[in-house]
Structure 1
Amino acid sequence: MGSFLINGQSRRYQKLKGLLSNNRIGKIRNWQWTATKTWRPQAYYEQNDWRATWNGEGGGILINQASHHIDLIAWLFGMPQKVYAHLKYGSQRDITVDDDVTTVLRYANGMSGVFTTRTHDFFGADRLEILGDKGKIVIENGDSMNIKVFDQEEQLWSKELDISEFKAIEENAPLYQEKFLEFQDVGQNPYVNIMENFTENITKNIPLYATREDGERNVELINAIYLSDWLQKEMDIPFDHSLYLEKLNEIMRNERED
Protein backbone atom coordinates (compact mmCIF):
# COMPACT_ATOMS: atom_id res chain seq x y z
CA MET A 1 0.00 0.00 0.00
CA GLY A 2 2.86 2.38 -0.63
CA SER A 3 5.45 3.94 1.66
CA PHE A 4 2.91 5.33 4.15
CA LEU A 5 2.00 1.82 5.22
CA ILE A 6 5.55 0.54 5.15
CA ASN A 7 7.28 3.21 7.19
CA GLY A 8 6.59 4.43 10.73
CA GLN A 9 3.14 5.69 9.76
CA SER A 10 1.90 2.15 9.18
CA ARG A 11 0.47 1.58 12.67
CA ARG A 12 -1.85 4.57 12.63
CA TYR A 13 -3.31 3.85 9.22
CA GLN A 14 -3.62 0.13 9.89
CA LYS A 15 -5.42 1.09 13.11
CA LEU A 16 -7.66 3.42 11.13
CA LYS A 17 -8.37 0.73 8.53
CA GLY A 18 -9.46 -1.61 11.30
CA LEU A 19 -11.78 0.99 12.84
CA LEU A 20 -13.43 1.70 9.49
CA SER A 21 -13.74 -1.98 8.59
CA ASN A 22 -15.43 -2.64 11.96
CA ASN A 23 -17.85 0.27 11.43
CA ARG A 24 -16.63 1.99 14.59
CA ILE A 25 -18.17 5.28 13.49
CA GLY A 26 -20.95 3.70 11.46
CA LYS A 27 -21.52 4.27 7.77
CA ILE A 28 -19.05 6.82 6.41
CA ARG A 29 -20.78 9.93 5.11
CA ASN A 30 -17.79 11.87 3.89
CA TRP A 31 -14.11 12.45 4.42
CA GLN A 32 -11.77 15.37 3.84
CA TRP A 33 -7.98 15.23 3.63
CA THR A 34 -5.89 18.38 3.57
CA ALA A 35 -2.33 17.27 2.80
CA THR A 36 -0.26 20.41 2.33
CA LYS A 37 2.89 19.59 4.29
CA THR A 38 4.60 19.15 0.93
CA TRP A 39 6.25 22.56 0.53
CA ARG A 40 9.04 22.66 -2.06
CA PRO A 41 11.20 25.67 -3.10
CA GLN A 42 12.24 26.33 -6.68
CA ALA A 43 15.70 24.91 -5.94
CA TYR A 44 14.13 21.52 -5.26
CA TYR A 45 12.86 21.31 -8.84
CA GLU A 46 16.14 22.52 -10.33
CA GLN A 47 18.20 19.67 -8.84
CA ASN A 48 17.59 17.49 -11.90
CA ASP A 49 16.28 18.08 -15.41
CA TRP A 50 13.62 15.39 -15.06
CA ARG A 51 11.97 16.87 -11.99
CA ALA A 52 8.53 18.44 -12.36
CA THR A 53 8.27 17.72 -16.09
CA TRP A 54 5.74 15.70 -18.07
CA ASN A 55 8.45 14.02 -20.11
CA GLY A 56 10.74 13.24 -17.19
CA GLU A 57 8.41 12.58 -14.27
CA GLY A 58 5.00 12.23 -15.84
CA GLY A 59 3.36 14.85 -13.66
CA GLY A 60 3.80 16.97 -10.57
CA ILE A 61 2.65 16.73 -6.98
CA LEU A 62 0.09 14.02 -7.79
CA ILE A 63 2.78 11.73 -9.17
CA ASN A 64 5.44 12.63 -6.63
CA GLN A 65 4.54 13.74 -3.10
CA ALA A 66 0.77 13.14 -3.04
CA SER A 67 0.82 9.71 -4.66
CA HIS A 68 1.23 8.22 -1.18
CA HIS A 69 -1.94 9.95 0.01
CA ILE A 70 -3.84 8.79 -3.07
CA ASP A 71 -2.61 5.28 -2.33
CA LEU A 72 -4.06 5.44 1.17
CA ILE A 73 -7.32 6.96 -0.04
CA ALA A 74 -7.90 4.01 -2.35
CA TRP A 75 -6.92 1.54 0.39
CA LEU A 76 -9.02 3.10 3.16
CA PHE A 77 -12.15 4.05 1.23
CA GLY A 78 -12.04 2.01 -1.96
CA MET A 79 -12.18 3.31 -5.50
CA PRO A 80 -14.63 6.13 -6.19
CA GLN A 81 -17.28 5.92 -8.86
CA LYS A 82 -16.72 9.48 -10.09
CA VAL A 83 -13.97 12.10 -9.79
CA TYR A 84 -13.99 15.84 -10.41
CA ALA A 85 -10.73 17.76 -10.14
CA HIS A 86 -9.31 21.27 -10.33
CA LEU A 87 -5.54 21.50 -10.80
CA LYS A 88 -3.12 24.40 -11.19
CA TYR A 89 0.07 23.98 -13.21
CA GLY A 90 3.15 25.97 -12.29
CA SER A 91 0.93 28.38 -10.40
CA GLN A 92 3.58 29.35 -7.83
CA ARG A 93 6.73 27.69 -9.19
CA ASP A 94 8.52 27.84 -12.52
CA ILE A 95 7.43 24.36 -13.61
CA THR A 96 5.05 22.95 -16.22
CA VAL A 97 3.31 20.35 -14.04
CA ASP A 98 0.75 20.50 -11.24
CA ASP A 99 1.62 22.20 -7.94
CA ASP A 100 -1.92 22.65 -6.57
CA VAL A 101 -4.69 20.03 -6.53
CA THR A 102 -8.27 19.89 -5.30
CA THR A 103 -10.42 16.89 -6.17
CA VAL A 104 -13.88 15.67 -5.20
CA LEU A 105 -14.58 11.92 -5.14
CA ARG A 106 -18.04 10.33 -5.21
CA TYR A 107 -18.70 6.71 -4.29
CA ALA A 108 -21.43 4.30 -5.29
CA ASN A 109 -22.60 3.97 -1.65
CA GLY A 110 -23.24 7.72 -1.31
CA MET A 111 -19.96 8.56 0.45
CA SER A 112 -18.01 11.57 -0.79
CA GLY A 113 -14.48 12.81 -0.22
CA VAL A 114 -12.40 15.91 -0.85
CA PHE A 115 -8.62 15.83 -1.24
CA THR A 116 -6.45 18.95 -1.30
CA THR A 117 -2.69 19.17 -1.71
CA ARG A 118 -0.12 21.75 -2.88
CA THR A 119 3.62 22.39 -2.82
CA HIS A 120 3.60 26.14 -2.16
CA ASP A 121 2.09 26.27 1.35
CA PHE A 122 4.96 26.85 3.77
CA PHE A 123 2.54 26.59 6.72
CA GLY A 124 0.96 23.41 5.42
CA ALA A 125 -1.01 20.89 7.45
CA ASP A 126 -1.87 17.21 7.30
CA ARG A 127 -5.40 16.63 8.56
CA LEU A 128 -7.73 13.77 7.72
CA GLU A 129 -11.34 13.99 8.94
CA ILE A 130 -13.76 11.10 8.52
CA LEU A 131 -17.42 11.60 9.42
CA GLY A 132 -19.70 8.64 10.02
CA ASP A 133 -23.28 8.12 11.18
CA LYS A 134 -22.07 7.36 14.70
CA GLY A 135 -19.05 9.61 15.07
CA LYS A 136 -15.89 11.10 13.71
CA ILE A 137 -12.19 10.26 13.41
CA VAL A 138 -9.53 12.93 12.97
CA ILE A 139 -5.85 12.27 12.28
CA GLU A 140 -3.71 15.36 12.76
CA ASN A 141 -0.24 15.60 11.22
CA GLY A 142 -0.04 11.83 11.13
CA ASP A 143 0.91 11.52 14.79
CA SER A 144 -2.41 11.69 16.69
CA MET A 145 -5.87 10.20 16.27
CA ASN A 146 -9.04 11.49 17.92
CA ILE A 147 -12.04 9.14 17.91
CA LYS A 148 -15.53 10.28 18.97
CA VAL A 149 -18.41 7.80 18.91
CA PHE A 150 -22.10 8.37 19.74
CA ASP A 151 -24.23 5.74 21.49
CA GLN A 152 -26.49 5.69 18.44
CA GLU A 153 -26.58 7.13 14.94
CA GLU A 154 -26.67 10.92 14.74
CA GLN A 155 -29.80 10.90 12.60
CA LEU A 156 -31.63 9.01 15.36
CA TRP A 157 -30.71 11.00 18.48
CA SER A 158 -31.02 14.32 16.64
CA LYS A 159 -34.69 13.56 15.88
CA GLU A 160 -35.44 13.47 19.61
CA LEU A 161 -34.23 17.03 20.25
CA ASP A 162 -36.79 19.77 20.69
CA ILE A 163 -35.88 23.35 19.84
CA SER A 164 -34.95 24.30 23.41
CA GLU A 165 -32.63 21.31 23.69
CA PHE A 166 -31.09 22.22 20.34
CA LYS A 167 -30.33 25.75 21.56
CA ALA A 168 -28.79 24.41 24.77
CA ILE A 169 -26.84 21.61 23.14
CA GLU A 170 -23.44 23.18 23.93
CA GLU A 171 -24.22 22.86 27.65
CA ASN A 172 -25.89 19.47 27.26
CA ALA A 173 -23.94 17.69 24.58
CA PRO A 174 -25.21 14.27 23.48
CA LEU A 175 -23.48 11.28 25.00
CA TYR A 176 -20.44 10.04 23.14
CA GLN A 177 -17.22 8.22 23.90
CA GLU A 178 -13.91 9.86 23.08
CA LYS A 179 -10.50 8.29 22.69
CA PHE A 180 -7.22 9.98 21.86
CA LEU A 181 -4.26 8.05 20.48
CA GLU A 182 -0.71 9.22 19.88
CA PHE A 183 1.85 7.53 17.66
CA GLN A 184 5.61 7.71 17.46
CA ASP A 185 7.62 6.75 14.41
CA VAL A 186 10.05 3.95 15.14
CA GLY A 187 11.88 1.43 13.05
CA GLN A 188 14.41 1.28 10.27
CA ASN A 189 14.58 2.92 6.88
CA PRO A 190 11.26 2.27 5.07
CA TYR A 191 13.08 1.31 1.86
CA VAL A 192 14.92 -1.43 3.76
CA ASN A 193 11.53 -2.67 4.96
CA ILE A 194 10.29 -2.75 1.37
CA MET A 195 13.22 -4.86 0.17
CA GLU A 196 13.00 -7.21 3.14
CA ASN A 197 9.29 -7.73 2.52
CA PHE A 198 9.93 -8.36 -1.17
CA THR A 199 12.63 -10.91 -0.32
CA GLU A 200 10.48 -12.65 2.29
CA ASN A 201 7.62 -12.87 -0.19
CA ILE A 202 9.88 -14.86 -2.51
CA THR A 203 11.62 -17.00 0.11
CA LYS A 204 8.89 -17.44 2.76
CA ASN A 205 5.69 -16.58 0.89
CA ILE A 206 5.06 -13.65 3.27
CA PRO A 207 2.29 -11.40 1.84
CA LEU A 208 3.50 -8.26 0.11
CA TYR A 209 2.82 -4.89 1.71
CA ALA A 210 1.74 -3.63 -1.69
CA THR A 211 0.75 -5.77 -4.64
CA ARG A 212 0.73 -5.02 -8.35
CA GLU A 213 -3.03 -4.51 -8.14
CA ASP A 214 -2.56 -1.92 -5.40
CA GLY A 215 -0.14 0.00 -7.58
CA GLU A 216 -2.40 -0.18 -10.63
CA ARG A 217 -5.34 1.11 -8.59
CA ASN A 218 -3.29 4.05 -7.36
CA VAL A 219 -2.22 5.00 -10.89
CA GLU A 220 -5.81 4.61 -12.13
CA LEU A 221 -7.06 7.15 -9.60
CA ILE A 222 -4.25 9.62 -10.27
CA ASN A 223 -4.85 9.42 -14.02
CA ALA A 224 -8.59 9.94 -13.53
CA ILE A 225 -7.85 13.13 -11.55
CA TYR A 226 -5.60 14.44 -14.32
CA LEU A 227 -8.09 13.59 -17.05
CA SER A 228 -10.95 15.25 -15.16
CA ASP A 229 -9.03 18.51 -15.03
CA TRP A 230 -7.85 18.32 -18.65
CA LEU A 231 -11.39 17.77 -19.89
CA GLN A 232 -12.99 20.03 -17.25
CA LYS A 233 -15.61 17.41 -16.45
CA GLU A 234 -16.46 14.77 -13.90
CA MET A 235 -14.92 11.43 -14.85
CA ASP A 236 -16.38 7.99 -14.36
CA ILE A 237 -14.10 5.22 -13.13
CA PRO A 238 -13.14 3.20 -15.07
CA PHE A 239 -12.48 5.67 -17.87
CA ASP A 240 -11.14 5.64 -21.42
CA HIS A 241 -7.41 4.98 -21.03
CA SER A 242 -6.74 5.72 -24.69
CA LEU A 243 -8.18 9.21 -24.21
CA TYR A 244 -5.90 9.78 -21.20
CA LEU A 245 -2.87 8.65 -23.22
CA GLU A 246 -3.84 10.90 -26.13
CA LYS A 247 -4.09 13.96 -23.86
CA LEU A 248 -0.86 13.10 -22.01
CA ASN A 249 1.09 12.68 -25.26
CA GLU A 250 -0.20 16.03 -26.44
CA ILE A 251 0.94 17.72 -23.25
CA MET A 252 4.35 16.02 -23.43
CA ARG A 253 4.77 17.08 -27.04
CA ASN A 254 3.92 20.70 -26.22
CA GLU A 255 6.42 20.66 -23.33
CA ARG A 256 9.22 19.44 -25.64
CA GLU A 257 8.42 22.14 -28.18
CA ASP A 258 8.50 25.00 -25.66
Structure 2
Amino acid sequence: MADNAIGKIRNWQWTAAKTWRPQAYYEQNDWRATWNGEGGGILINQASHHIDLIAWLFGMPQKVYAHLKYGSQRNITVDDDVTAVLSYANGMSGVFTTRTHDFFGTDRLEILGDKGKIIIENGDSMNMKVFEQEEQLWSKDLDISAFKAIEENAPRYQEKVFEFHDRGQNPYVNIMKNFSESITENAPLYATREDGERNVELINAIYLSDWLQREVDIPFDQSLYLEKLNKIMEKEREG
Protein backbone atom coordinates (compact mmCIF):
# COMPACT_ATOMS: atom_id res chain seq x y z
CA MET A 1 0.00 0.00 0.00
CA ALA A 2 2.87 2.37 0.77
CA ASP A 3 4.24 1.67 -2.71
CA ASN A 4 0.81 2.20 -4.29
CA ALA A 5 0.97 -1.36 -5.66
CA ILE A 6 -2.80 -1.71 -6.09
CA GLY A 7 -3.40 1.95 -6.89
CA LYS A 8 -5.76 4.30 -5.14
CA ILE A 9 -7.74 2.47 -2.44
CA ARG A 10 -11.46 2.39 -3.20
CA ASN A 11 -12.89 0.17 -0.47
CA TRP A 12 -11.84 -2.14 2.30
CA GLN A 13 -13.83 -4.70 4.25
CA TRP A 14 -12.72 -6.53 7.38
CA THR A 15 -14.63 -9.32 9.07
CA ALA A 16 -12.79 -9.97 12.32
CA ALA A 17 -14.78 -12.64 14.10
CA LYS A 18 -12.11 -14.93 15.52
CA THR A 19 -12.90 -13.54 18.94
CA TRP A 20 -15.33 -16.12 20.29
CA ARG A 21 -15.86 -15.92 24.05
CA PRO A 22 -18.16 -18.11 26.22
CA GLN A 23 -20.08 -16.78 29.20
CA ALA A 24 -17.44 -18.19 31.55
CA TYR A 25 -14.86 -15.83 30.05
CA TYR A 26 -16.85 -12.80 31.21
CA GLU A 27 -17.47 -14.25 34.65
CA GLN A 28 -13.77 -14.59 35.49
CA ASN A 29 -13.68 -11.08 36.97
CA ASP A 30 -16.29 -8.54 38.01
CA TRP A 31 -14.79 -5.83 35.80
CA ARG A 32 -15.10 -7.80 32.57
CA ALA A 33 -17.74 -6.79 30.03
CA THR A 34 -18.97 -3.83 32.06
CA TRP A 35 -19.11 -0.12 31.30
CA ASN A 36 -17.85 0.82 34.76
CA GLY A 37 -15.05 -1.74 34.89
CA GLU A 38 -13.87 -2.07 31.30
CA GLY A 39 -15.44 0.86 29.49
CA GLY A 40 -17.15 -1.23 26.84
CA GLY A 41 -17.23 -4.65 25.24
CA ILE A 42 -15.65 -6.21 22.19
CA LEU A 43 -14.75 -2.81 20.71
CA ILE A 44 -12.67 -1.72 23.68
CA ASN A 45 -11.25 -5.19 24.36
CA GLN A 46 -10.64 -7.67 21.55
CA ALA A 47 -11.36 -5.46 18.52
CA SER A 48 -9.32 -2.48 19.70
CA HIS A 49 -6.32 -4.13 18.03
CA HIS A 50 -8.18 -4.31 14.71
CA ILE A 51 -9.32 -0.70 15.05
CA ASP A 52 -5.70 0.30 15.69
CA LEU A 53 -4.63 -1.41 12.45
CA ILE A 54 -7.50 0.19 10.53
CA ALA A 55 -6.40 3.66 11.61
CA TRP A 56 -2.76 2.82 10.80
CA LEU A 57 -3.48 1.35 7.36
CA PHE A 58 -6.17 3.72 6.11
CA GLY A 59 -5.97 6.81 8.30
CA MET A 60 -8.84 8.38 10.19
CA PRO A 61 -12.24 8.44 8.50
CA GLN A 62 -14.26 11.57 8.04
CA LYS A 63 -17.54 9.97 9.09
CA VAL A 64 -18.68 6.81 10.90
CA TYR A 65 -22.04 5.07 10.93
CA ALA A 66 -22.37 2.09 13.28
CA HIS A 67 -24.83 -0.52 14.49
CA LEU A 68 -24.01 -2.36 17.72
CA LYS A 69 -25.74 -5.08 19.70
CA TYR A 70 -25.38 -5.20 23.48
CA GLY A 71 -25.51 -8.54 25.28
CA SER A 72 -27.22 -10.01 22.24
CA GLN A 73 -25.88 -13.54 22.78
CA ARG A 74 -24.25 -13.30 26.21
CA ASN A 75 -25.46 -12.17 29.62
CA ILE A 76 -23.51 -8.89 29.57
CA THR A 77 -24.42 -5.21 29.34
CA VAL A 78 -21.80 -4.20 26.76
CA ASP A 79 -21.38 -4.75 23.02
CA ASP A 80 -20.81 -8.25 21.62
CA ASP A 81 -21.64 -7.56 17.95
CA VAL A 82 -20.43 -4.59 15.88
CA THR A 83 -20.86 -3.33 12.32
CA ALA A 84 -19.34 0.01 11.36
CA VAL A 85 -19.23 1.84 8.03
CA LEU A 86 -16.37 4.33 7.65
CA SER A 87 -16.26 7.10 5.03
CA TYR A 88 -13.09 9.01 4.12
CA ALA A 89 -12.48 12.47 2.70
CA ASN A 90 -10.76 11.00 -0.38
CA GLY A 91 -13.82 8.93 -1.33
CA MET A 92 -12.61 5.65 0.16
CA SER A 93 -15.02 3.63 2.29
CA GLY A 94 -14.67 0.69 4.65
CA VAL A 95 -16.82 -1.78 6.55
CA PHE A 96 -15.73 -3.41 9.81
CA THR A 97 -17.62 -6.25 11.47
CA THR A 98 -16.72 -8.16 14.62
CA ARG A 99 -18.51 -10.33 17.21
CA THR A 100 -17.76 -12.60 20.15
CA HIS A 101 -20.48 -15.21 19.55
CA ASP A 102 -19.25 -16.77 16.29
CA PHE A 103 -17.66 -20.08 17.31
CA PHE A 104 -16.48 -20.89 13.77
CA GLY A 105 -14.96 -17.46 13.26
CA THR A 106 -13.67 -15.57 10.24
CA ASP A 107 -10.72 -13.24 9.85
CA ARG A 108 -10.66 -11.79 6.33
CA LEU A 109 -9.46 -8.38 5.20
CA GLU A 110 -10.08 -7.29 1.60
CA ILE A 111 -8.55 -4.10 0.21
CA LEU A 112 -9.70 -3.02 -3.25
CA GLY A 113 -7.71 -0.53 -5.28
CA ASP A 114 -7.85 0.90 -8.80
CA LYS A 115 -5.15 -1.52 -9.95
CA GLY A 116 -5.85 -4.63 -7.92
CA LYS A 117 -6.84 -6.28 -4.68
CA ILE A 118 -5.26 -7.56 -1.49
CA ILE A 119 -6.88 -10.37 0.52
CA ILE A 120 -5.51 -11.39 3.91
CA GLU A 121 -6.87 -14.56 5.50
CA ASN A 122 -6.43 -15.35 9.20
CA GLY A 123 -3.33 -13.18 9.42
CA ASP A 124 -1.08 -15.89 7.98
CA SER A 125 -1.44 -15.52 4.20
CA MET A 126 -1.89 -12.67 1.74
CA ASN A 127 -3.02 -12.81 -1.87
CA MET A 128 -2.34 -9.78 -4.07
CA LYS A 129 -3.60 -9.38 -7.64
CA VAL A 130 -2.38 -6.41 -9.68
CA PHE A 131 -3.55 -5.25 -13.12
CA GLU A 132 -1.18 -3.68 -15.64
CA GLN A 133 -3.33 -0.55 -15.62
CA GLU A 134 -6.21 0.86 -13.62
CA GLU A 135 -9.50 -1.05 -13.83
CA GLN A 136 -11.39 2.01 -15.02
CA LEU A 137 -9.00 2.29 -18.01
CA TRP A 138 -9.02 -1.29 -19.32
CA SER A 139 -12.70 -1.86 -18.59
CA LYS A 140 -13.94 1.12 -20.63
CA ASP A 141 -12.76 -0.52 -23.87
CA LEU A 142 -14.70 -3.76 -23.35
CA ASP A 143 -17.59 -4.35 -25.71
CA ILE A 144 -20.56 -6.46 -24.62
CA SER A 145 -19.20 -9.67 -26.16
CA ALA A 146 -15.87 -9.23 -24.39
CA PHE A 147 -17.75 -8.53 -21.16
CA LYS A 148 -19.68 -11.79 -21.48
CA ALA A 149 -16.44 -13.69 -22.16
CA ILE A 150 -14.49 -12.03 -19.37
CA GLU A 151 -14.18 -15.24 -17.32
CA GLU A 152 -12.48 -17.05 -20.20
CA ASN A 153 -10.35 -14.12 -21.27
CA ALA A 154 -9.64 -12.18 -18.12
CA PRO A 155 -7.54 -9.01 -18.29
CA ARG A 156 -3.90 -9.60 -17.55
CA TYR A 157 -2.83 -9.30 -13.96
CA GLN A 158 -0.03 -10.54 -11.77
CA GLU A 159 -0.79 -12.60 -8.70
CA LYS A 160 1.43 -13.07 -5.68
CA VAL A 161 0.83 -15.13 -2.55
CA PHE A 162 2.70 -14.38 0.68
CA GLU A 163 2.82 -16.76 3.63
CA PHE A 164 3.48 -15.56 7.17
CA HIS A 165 4.52 -18.07 9.79
CA ASP A 166 4.65 -17.71 13.56
CA ARG A 167 8.28 -17.25 14.53
CA GLY A 168 7.59 -17.97 18.16
CA GLN A 169 8.13 -14.36 19.18
CA ASN A 170 6.07 -12.99 22.05
CA PRO A 171 4.60 -9.65 20.90
CA TYR A 172 4.08 -8.47 24.48
CA VAL A 173 7.74 -9.01 25.27
CA ASN A 174 8.75 -7.14 22.11
CA ILE A 175 6.48 -4.21 22.94
CA MET A 176 7.80 -3.91 26.51
CA LYS A 177 11.38 -4.18 25.28
CA ASN A 178 10.73 -1.42 22.75
CA PHE A 179 9.16 0.75 25.48
CA SER A 180 12.15 0.33 27.79
CA GLU A 181 14.59 1.01 24.95
CA SER A 182 12.70 4.19 24.11
CA ILE A 183 13.57 5.40 27.62
CA THR A 184 17.13 4.09 27.92
CA GLU A 185 18.28 4.42 24.30
CA ASN A 186 15.82 6.92 22.82
CA ALA A 187 14.61 4.24 20.37
CA PRO A 188 11.50 5.15 18.32
CA LEU A 189 8.30 3.65 19.71
CA TYR A 190 6.39 1.02 17.74
CA ALA A 191 3.19 2.68 18.93
CA THR A 192 3.12 6.28 20.08
CA ARG A 193 0.75 8.15 22.36
CA GLU A 194 -0.79 9.71 19.25
CA ASP A 195 -1.46 6.23 17.86
CA GLY A 196 -3.28 5.28 21.04
CA GLU A 197 -5.32 8.47 21.14
CA ARG A 198 -6.35 7.99 17.51
CA ASN A 199 -7.43 4.41 18.26
CA VAL A 200 -9.59 5.47 21.22
CA GLU A 201 -11.11 8.34 19.24
CA LEU A 202 -12.25 5.99 16.48
CA ILE A 203 -13.67 3.47 18.98
CA ASN A 204 -15.57 6.22 20.78
CA ALA A 205 -16.92 7.56 17.48
CA ILE A 206 -18.33 4.11 16.69
CA TYR A 207 -20.04 3.97 20.09
CA LEU A 208 -21.44 7.48 19.75
CA SER A 209 -22.82 6.78 16.28
CA ASP A 210 -24.78 3.82 17.59
CA TRP A 211 -26.02 5.69 20.65
CA LEU A 212 -27.25 8.59 18.50
CA GLN A 213 -28.43 6.23 15.73
CA ARG A 214 -26.90 8.45 13.07
CA GLU A 215 -23.68 9.13 11.22
CA VAL A 216 -21.01 10.88 13.28
CA ASP A 217 -18.34 13.27 12.03
CA ILE A 218 -14.73 12.93 13.18
CA PRO A 219 -13.66 14.80 15.22
CA PHE A 220 -16.87 14.62 17.24
CA ASP A 221 -18.28 16.31 20.33
CA GLN A 222 -16.33 14.76 23.21
CA SER A 223 -18.62 16.26 25.83
CA LEU A 224 -21.63 14.63 24.19
CA TYR A 225 -19.84 11.27 24.19
CA LEU A 226 -19.03 11.60 27.92
CA GLU A 227 -22.61 12.62 28.68
CA LYS A 228 -23.97 9.51 26.96
CA LEU A 229 -21.33 7.23 28.51
CA ASN A 230 -21.95 8.52 32.03
CA LYS A 231 -25.68 7.86 31.71
CA ILE A 232 -25.00 4.31 30.55
CA MET A 233 -22.56 3.75 33.43
CA GLU A 234 -25.07 5.10 35.94
CA LYS A 235 -27.79 2.82 34.60
CA GLU A 236 -25.45 -0.17 34.89
CA ARG A 237 -24.61 0.69 38.51
CA GLU A 238 -28.29 0.87 39.33
CA GLY A 239 -28.64 -2.69 38.05
The TM tier, using the shorter chain, reads: over 0.9
Identity of aligned residues (%): 87
The equivalent residue for 1:217 is 198
Instruction: Give the TM-score normalised by structure 2.
Output: 0.99
Instruction: Provide the secondary structure at the position in 2 that maps to 1:21.
Output: coil
Q: Distance in 1 between matches of 2:183 and 2:41?
A: 33
Q: Match for 1:89 among 70, 74, 95?
A: 70
Q: Match for 2:123 among 122, 142, 156?
A: 142
**Shift, 1:115, TM fit:** 0.0
Q: Match for 1:48 among 29, 43, 64?
A: 29
Q: Match for 1:241 among 207, 211, 222?
A: 222
Query: Is 1:184 aligned with 2:184?
Result: no
Q: Distance in 1 between matches of 2:75 and 2:152?
A: 52
For structure 2, list consecutive stretches of 5 or more residues without a partner in the other structure: none
Deviation per CA, 1:122-178: give whole Å up to 9, x if none.
011100000000000000000000000000000000011111111011110000000
**Shift, 1:202, TM fit:** 1.2
Across the two proteins, how many residue pairs are aligned to each other? 239
Q: Match for 2:45 among 47, 64, 75?
A: 64
Deviates more, 1:108-117 or 1:184-193: 184-193
Deviation per CA, 1:16-66: give whole Å up to 9, x if none.
xxxx11110000000000000000000000000000000000000000000
- Tell me the amino acid that sits aligned with residue 156 of structure 1: L
Q: Distance in 1 between matches of 2:60 and 2:3?
A: 19
- Tell me the amino acid that sits aligned with residue 208 of structure 1: L
Query: What value does the CA root-mean-square deviation take over the aligned residues?
Result: 0.6
Q: Distance in 2 between matches of 1:188 and 1:146?
A: 24
User: Counting helix residues as a fraction of each chain, which structure ranks higher?
Assistant: 1
Instruction: Give the TM-score normalised by structure 1.
Output: 0.92
Instruction: Provide the secondary structure at the position in 2 that maps to 1:25.
Output: coil
Q: Distance in 2 between matches of 1:62 and 1:86?
A: 12
The equivalent residue for 1:105 is 86
**Shift, 1:183, TM fit:** 0.3
For structure 1, list consecutive stretches of 5 or more residues without a partner in the other structure: 1-19
Structure 1 runs of 4+ with >2 Å offset: none
Residue pairs, 1:124-163, within 5 angstroms: 124-163=105-144
Q: Distance in 1 between matches of 2:25 and 2:87?
A: 34
Q: Distance in 2 between matches of 1:218 and 1:187?
A: 27
The equivalent residue for 2:58 is 77
